[in-house]
Structure 1
Amino acid sequence: MGAMDELIGPEVVDRLRSAVRSVEPALELSELSDVRASLEGRRLRDRVDLVRDAMLADLPGGFPAARQVVEGVLSVPDFEGWMIWPVTEVVAARALEDGSTAAFDGGLDVLALLTTRLSSEFAIRDMLLARPERALGIIRGWTGHENEHVRRLASEGTRAFLPWAKRVPWLVAHPDATQGILDALHRDPAVYVRRSVANHLNDLSRIDPALVTTTARGWAADPSADTPWVIRHGLRTLIKKADPDALALVGFSGDRLRVDRPQVQETFVRLHEDALTFTARVTNDDDEDATVAIDYSIGFQRFNGTVSPKTFKLASRRLRPGESVTVSKTHSFRRITTRTYYPGPHVVTVQANGVRSEAAHFTVIDPSAVDPSAER
């Protein structure tokens, strides 16, 4: 079990129980006490659910009572950190159980308070699932909030593909619904908020690329010093896909590029030991200068025998008419935590502003299972 899973453990639950009882001493909180023994061996998401359900069982019924407890415990200095995640979900659950508009709006108000201690971005998804248009109407108002954490929640909580979070199909079906939020925050003074805006924009590029490039073009027409970074980060997926509008927005040009097949130094790469080194030549066949984004893609072998490509940045170059440049890269196949490598046939390609080379082939072998010299 990883360290992330242990962020909510028995000692955190003890501190949460102590914080609540310091403002509501009449509450026994027996379920919260008992749940401590159930956390061992659980994933973080499961721990959040267990603590949330224990609190729901312990707190008095109804949203007003839960709101009173939560707003009271905000005054306790020890009420901080990861213990707040399950509390945000208690607030959302009680607000939705109530069913009234007053409780719904009040629930969002409390989530905005809690997000200044730890992000309410996961709990807010339940509110968006229940009443997306009502929720967005309130969330848009947060873009002018004095606290950067609340402003960031407006962008982060409404992302189409927020990591770890529940999907909100309505947001995917209405990609322009958060336009006002992004327009209000893309020049935010806090980098924390601007990064969320860029990630939000990148999410939307998977749904509506034209909307994303139109949005970025509008921002570029009246930029701040930070706008180029926000646009580039927000368009990163479209840039890898060589979307022509996205490339133009970040300054890449060149319509007649030629990319030769990569030359690989190794036909066989030993799993977890070696690296793939390759070179490729890019030529500008146009009669005008070209500013070129050069990327490479490796088709990785998956556990089921299929090949899954992954694109990586390689270089940026400015080429005169007729000029060529040779780029090189070494890609390690040593063990990493973010990707599992499998033996088998692989391919590598290089692209320049989306113009892709022919594929070069190589094989990843498991040195514990085969002698590389026997394959040559």
Structure 2
Amino acid sequence: MSETKALKHYFGVELAHHLSSLIKPHFPNFPSDSFVQSVANQIEPLELKGRVAVIADELRNALPADYSEALNILLNILGPENETEQGMFTNGYFLMPIAFFVEKYGLQHFEISMNALYEITKRHTSEYAIRPYLERYPDECLKYFNNWLNDTNSHVRRLVSEGTRPRLPWAKRMNAIKGNPANNLALLAPLLNDPSPYVRKSVANHLNDLTKDYRDTTLDWILHLDLKGDSINKVIRHGLRSLASSGDPEALSLLEIL
């Protein structure tokens, strides 16, 4: 059974009960029974993303109509930050519907939603939820990203790279930021030598994405880097893996000097 097939069963009635129990102390009027029943009525035939969407939609129906009030309630149930670097596939699955809630319902409320995604990513991930914001508010997002590059939390720094990847797995493909890969590369540059291997892996995967869609620009950028240090060289090697496997002569030549 694939990981997504097995994981989908997590997003069902039991999770609805769990979310309800977390929300009730912060919103006593939360209609627990009808929330759980509404989830139960829809969830069975759906795959993972559909199940997450149902729970997010039913949260929207059950919480206060005012988005900022509803979001504040959800922020109160996020729990402790993820102190490991094991990522979304080990911790915080129950937050997937909350991230989708922000993704789907928060676009008209940019600042409070970006703050929510910042908090969610420290516990789970916002790499999918942030993408509609980047598409609608590229300049505003870039200001946030440039601040997050210096964040002490590695999950936040990783979000700058992972959330902007053109070919993020499980996500719709996305163009370079503002249609120019130089914007992506400018964000990646400070992360090339990040102290976290978790962050550097994301940077390498992002570079690999860029080599597929913006080969010449990406290779030219790499050629002008100061390629010193094992960490940076490992990132570049991993980022060139698709070009290398295809026998790209310029990529292979670059790898020889690393």
Is TM > 0.5 for Structure 1 vs Structure 2?
A: yes
Is the CA contact 2:161–2:202 (under 8 Å) kept in the aligned structure 1?
A: yes
Aligned counterparts of 1:114 and 1:92: Cα–Cα separation in 2: 12
Cα–Cα, structure 1 residues 171 and 228, in superposed 2: closer, same or farther, change >3 Å?
same
Could you tell which deviates more after superposition, 167-176 or 5-14?
Answer: 167-176
Unaligned runs of 5+ in 1: 253-376
Aligned counterparts of 1:32 and 1:191: Cα–Cα separation in 2: 41
The residue aligned with 1:154 is 160
Aligned counterparts of 1:29 and 1:171: Cα–Cα separation in 2: 41
**Aligned pair 1:32/2:35, yes or no?**
yes
Q: Please tell me the residue identity of whatever aligns with 2:95.
A: I
Cα–Cα, structure 1 residues 76 and 24, in superposed 2: closer, same or farther, change >3 Å?
farther
Larger strand percent: 1
- Per-residue deviation, 1:197: 0.3
The residue aligned with 1:54 is 58
- Per-residue deviation, 1:69: 0.8
Q: Which of the residues 184, 195, 198 maps onto 2:190?
A: 184
The residue aligned with 2:223 is 217
- Per-residue deviation, 1:76: 7.4
Q: Please tell me the residue identity of whatever aligns with 1:245.
A: E
The residue aligned with 1:13 is 16
**Aligned pair 1:85/2:89, yes or no?**
no
Q: Secondary structure at the match of 2:256?
A: coil
Cα–Cα, structure 1 residues 75 and 232, in superposed 2: closer, same or farther, change >3 Å?
closer
Is the CA contact 2:244–2:252 (under 8 Å) kept in the aligned structure 1?
A: yes
Is the CA contact 1:172–1:207 (under 8 Å) kept in the aligned structure 2?
A: no
The residue aligned with 1:241 is 246
Q: Secondary structure at the match of 1:158?
A: coil
The residue aligned with 2:134 is 128
Aligned residues, how many? 244
Q: Which of the residues 109, 113, 122 maps onto 1:116?
A: 122
Q: Please tell me the residue identity of whatever aligns with 1:83.
A: F
Aligned counterparts of 1:38 and 1:188: Cα–Cα separation in 2: 44
Is the CA contact 2:80–2:123 (under 8 Å) kept in the aligned structure 1?
A: no
Aligned counterparts of 1:76 and 1:12: Cα–Cα separation in 2: 18
- RMSD of the TM alignment (CA)? 2.1
Q: Please tell me the residue identity of whatever aligns with 1:195.
A: K
Is the CA contact 1:128–1:168 (under 8 Å) kept in the aligned structure 2?
A: no
Summarize the alignment of residues 263-274 of structure 1 with structure 2, pairs less than 5 Å apart: none
Q: Secondary structure at the match of 2:25?
A: helix
The residue aligned with 2:69 is 65
Aligned counterparts of 2:34 and 2:223: Cα–Cα separation in 1: 54
- Per-residue deviation, 1:230: 0.5
Identity of aligned residues (%): 33
Q: Which has the higher contact order (CA 8 A, sep 6+)?
A: 2
Deviations 1:337-365 (A, max 9, x none): xxxxxxxxxxxxxxxxxxxxxxxxxxxxx
Is the CA contact 2:204–2:236 (under 8 Å) kept in the aligned structure 1?
A: yes
Cα–Cα, structure 1 residues 120 and 157, in superposed 2: closer, same or farther, change >3 Å?
same
Q: Secondary structure at the match of 2:76?
A: helix
Deviations 1:90-133 (A, max 9, x none): 1233321xx3xxx3022111101011111111111121232223
- Per-residue deviation, 1:30: 4.8
Is the CA contact 2:127–2:159 (under 8 Å) kept in the aligned structure 1?
A: yes
Summarize the alignment of residues 1-376 of structure 1 with structure 2, pairs less than 5 Å apart: 2-34=5-37, 35-75=39-79, 81-96=92-107, 99=108, 103-169=109-175, 171=177, 173-219=179-225, 221-251=226-256
Is the CA contact 1:19–1:76 (under 8 Å) kept in the aligned structure 2?
A: no
Q: Secondary structure at the match of 1:242?
A: coil
Aligned counterparts of 1:123 and 1:52: Cα–Cα separation in 2: 12
Q: Secondary structure at the match of 1:226?
A: helix
Is the CA contact 1:202–1:236 (under 8 Å) kept in the aligned structure 2?
A: yes
Deviations 1:70-90 (A, max 9, x none): 22223479xx62120110121
